[in-house]
Amino acid sequence: MNVDSLYSRTAKPHLAISVLAQAYGLKDKAGWSLATARKQVQADRNPQSKIHSILYRPFDVRFIFYHEAVIERPRPEVMRHILAGENVGLVLPRRVEHTGPWQHVFVTNALVEHVAVSLKTIDYCFPLYLSPSTTAPDMFQQTKRPNLAEWLLPKLTAAYGFTPTPEQMLAYIYAVLSSPPYRARYVEELRIDFPRIPFTADPNIFCRMAALGQELIELHLLRKKVRVAGVRYQGQGSDTIERVRYEAATGRVWINNDKYFENITPEMWEYQIGGYQVLEKYLKDRKGRALTDPIRYIHIAEAIAQTIAYQVQLNNLYVAVEMAVIVP
């Protein structure tokens, strides 16, 4: 759906309120009415500027009409940092309810839906940079600054002999959170509170972890395209997703009786981020609709294949992190 189409569905100036309410299942409630909301939207001089990308589920980026008249909890105190300019942030929950392995972290450069990663509990967004407030300048900083504890960079600079960039810090943290040994060792703590990050005392290990973490960030934002698994979209006929099924013997993911993706390994198909089996969830959320972006699905599958390979490298590298850590 393009931006103009989304706006036209939101405003609908030619439709009666009753028709609009029935078409989209909208009901008035305390503090909100459809009639008032539509008037506010129609009075906005530039409503198209309120349409933004939003991370709906891992790798599943959609559009949202981010207007205070129609969003119940827009959380501008956090999301304004994402909207202010180029930025990136970690997405993770404070706690998880399932009993399996912890895998509840992703990265975003867009707005975030509240269960984008965690299936049952609320996710939090941690932007790398904090931007000045335009509505309360006396209460917030006046220049863009890294969202890091003030003591952290001086401590690492003294230990490493150089000052890590904010981007290196984020990449290192993402590598730690993506490391299977870290997830296994602290699984009980990760279920009940935010992660605690061990910082290696070895500058070489820090740089190697940050380099892997940056590769993961590029992959997960789909800014880096890889071809490691040879995933292809095959078959003739309709692109409508009717029934999603996976054949481990052939490595095929069928979307109907005629079309399929091939070279999907069981590890790729079963790979989970948070509460979602990524490759299955992406297709099932589009059931009954035409798959208009098979190339994107290929990029997602390839990114997962490369992520699995990087996590194998992190198995050994993370062990070196905890051999000597910096004490706050």
pLDDT in tens, 34-52: 888 888 888 888 888 889 9
- pLDDT tier, 136 (very low <50, low <70, confident <90, very high otherwise): low
The answer to whether 252 and 260 have CB atoms below 8 angstroms apart is yes
Average pLDDT over residues 179-206: 96
pLDDT > 90 fraction of the chain, expressed in percent and rounded: 71
Q: What is the mean pLDDT of the chain?
A: 91
Q: Where are the beta strands (DSSP E) in the chain?
A: 51-57, 60-65, 89-93, 106-108, 111-112, 123-127, 129-130, 145-146, 232-235, 245-247, 252-254, 259-262, 272-273, 276-277
- pLDDT tier, 8 (very low <50, low <70, confident <90, very high otherwise): low
**What's residue 195's pLDDT?**
97
**What's residue 5's pLDDT?**
56
Torsion, CA 20, CA 21, CA 24, CA 29, rounded to 10: 140
SS3 (DSSP) at 45 = coil
Question: What digits encode the pLDDT tens for the residues 244-300?
Answer: 999 999 999 999 999 999 999 999 999 999 999 999 999 999 999 999 999 999 999
User: Tell me, what DSSP letter sits at residue 148?
Assistant: S
pLDDT > 70 fraction of the chain, expressed in percent and rounded: 93
The answer to whether 262 and 251 have CB atoms below 8 angstroms apart is yes
**What's residue 142's pLDDT?**
62
Question: What digits encode the pLDDT tens for the residues 230-255?
Answer: 999 999 999 999 999 999 999 999 99
**What's residue 141's pLDDT?**
52
**Residue whose entry in the numeric block shows the structure tokens 């992660």:** 195
> pTM of the entire structure?
0.91
SS3 (DSSP) at 212 = helix
Residue 256 to residue 241: CA distance in whole angstroms:
6
Residue 288 to residue 256: CA distance in whole angstroms:
10
Question: What digits encode the pLDDT tens for the residues 300-311?
Answer: 999 999 999 999
Helix, strand, coil percentages (3-state) for the chain, rounded to 5, are 40, 15, 45
List Cα–Cα distances, 24 to 10, 27, 165, 284, 291, in angstroms. Answer: 10, 9, 46, 22, 23
What are 31's two structure tokens?
A: 């503090």
**What's residue 46's pLDDT?**
87
Least confident stretch, 96-105, 126-135, 156-165, 308-317: 126-135
**What's residue 155's pLDDT?**
96
The winner for highest mean pLDDT among 28-32, 38-42, 210-214 is 210-214
The answer to whether 174 and 217 have CB atoms below 8 angstroms apart is yes
Name the residue with higher pLDDT: 4 or 130.
130
- pLDDT tier, 4 (very low <50, low <70, confident <90, very high otherwise): low
